[in-house]
Homo-oligomer: A and B are copies of this chain.
Amino acid sequence: MMKRNTFTEGLNKAETVKQTKAVLKQIGELQHQMYAESKHSLLLVFQGMDASGKDGLTRDLFKYCNPVSISVKSFKKPTPEEYAHDFLWRVHRHSPPKGAVQVFIRSHYEDILVPTVENLFTPEIIEERYQLINNFEQLLAHNGTRILKFFLHISYEEQELRLTERMENERKFWKHNDGDWETRKKFDQYLEVYESILTRCNQIPWQVIPSDRNWEKLWHVANSVLRALEEMNIQWPPLKTELR
């Protein structure tokens, strides 16, 4: 089973922060070019325990990007309309069109996580969802969407610090939710389901990101995003004109 404590490499902070900035600038450049070319699309899936820093990562990652082609969807409790459809319906609506980057803060994986831990459905239903999710991701990939899936892995100890800060720092009050402390009691159970997801929905591979230190998390994710963009081999489109 995954350790409660995340693995941390021997990274030098100052040096890493500096290099990350250069990577983020390259991402900004390529994202602009990707929008110009409108041939590829990129989907980033951020999953992680409460307070693993999904929102903050989103802010930092796109510092040098143009929001015109970036959309962020934060999936909360489904609305009645969403509940009235299959669980992938609301997700599918937010898949990125060509040229765009889409971020999912939480995602369709919540529809395995919560029902499993809370025993909301029969095992058969949950079992089928693994397959349905794999099928869904295959469909997006089939259409040329590059999908990067990140599990932001914070330790049990770090989560306590962060949840506590939300009750002490005025600027973080708005993030506080009593329920997060309840969910925290099931930390290991959630970790177990994540382990199952990471194994069984790995057709499009997961990346486990050590996330106790935000600068380290950003470094790993930024490099992965840059690599994906580079692999797209994005080109400036040719001039299309009949004027000459």
Contact = CB atoms under 8 A, between A and B. Distances in A.
A122 B85 CA distance: 43
A175 B181 CA distance: 50
Q: Chain A's interface: helix, strand, loop or mixed, by majority? A: mixed
Report the copy number of this chain in the oligomer.
Answer: 2
A65 to B, nearest CB: 8
Contact of A59 (B66, B176, B178): B66
Interface residues of A, number: 36
Interface in A55-103: 55, 58-59, 62-68, 70-72, 74, 103
Nearest to A72: B68
Interface in A188-244: 236-243
Contacts of A65: 59, 67
Contacts of A237: 173-174
A111 interface: no
Contact of A66 (B36, B38, B55, B173): B55
A50 interface: no
A174 B58 contact: no
Contact of A178 (B74, B178, B241): B241
